[in-house]
Copies of this chain bind each other. A is one copy, B any other.
Amino acid sequence: MNAPQLTKNQALVFDVLAKADGPLSAYTILDKLRDYGFRAPLQVYRALDKLLEYGVVHRLESINSFVACAHPNENCHSHGTVAFAICESCGHVIEFHDHEVDHRLANWTRGKKFKAEKTTIEIRGLCETCAA
C-alpha cells in the first residue's frame, strides 16, 4: 500500500506525527490542529485511518496512540510485522523488524491453520537512557 497524494487533513495529521518526538493520541493531535481548523475527533480519526492504510503511520495498541512510520521511504509492510519498543518513561518509540520472529509466528499460525490479518508486537519498558 503506497501513499497517494495526501489530502489537506491527512497531511496536517501526518505532519504533526512526523514532527512529534513520540506517539500521540488522537485527541492530542486534535488539540494541536485546532488552529488549523480541526474541531472534532472524527477529522483526526478519518485522516489516521487513511494514513494507517497507506502504511505511513502505525498504531500502538497498548497505549492508544499513533506514530509516524520510522521508515518513510520504504514500504513497511514488505518487512513483515513491525514491532515496537516503547519507553514508559520518556515516551520514545523504537520501531524494528525481526524476520525470525515473523517466521516463528508464521509457523505457529500455519500449524493452527489460523489466518493472521494483523499482528501486534509491543514491548513496553525503559529505554537505555531512562533505565540508567
User: Which of B118, B121, B127, B131 lies in contact with A120, CB distance below 8 A?
Assistant: B121
Binds B, one of A20-28, A37-45, A49-57, A96-104: A96-104
Does A123 lie at the interface of the complex (its beta carbon under 8 Å from any beta carbon of B)?
yes
A contact set with B: CB distance below 8 Å: 61-62, 83, 85, 87-88, 94, 96, 98, 100-101, 104-105, 108-109, 112-128, 131
How distant is the Cα of A105 from the Cα of B84 in the complex, in angstroms? 10
How distant is the Cα of A88 from the Cα of B88 in the complex, in angstroms? 29
- Contact assessment for A112 and B98 in the assembled complex, using a CB-CB cutoff below 8 Å: no
How distant is the Cα of A54 from the Cα of B109 in the complex, in angstroms? 28
Given contacts A62-B61, A100-B100, contact A116 B105 (CB under 8 A): no
Interface pairs A-B: 6 shortest CB-CB: A113-B128, A117-B125, A116-B125, A115-B131, A115-B126, A61-B62
- Contact assessment for B85 and A112 in the assembled complex, using a CB-CB cutoff below 8 Å: yes
Which residues of B have CB within 8 Å of A119? 121-124
Most buried by B among A104, A115, A118, A119: A115
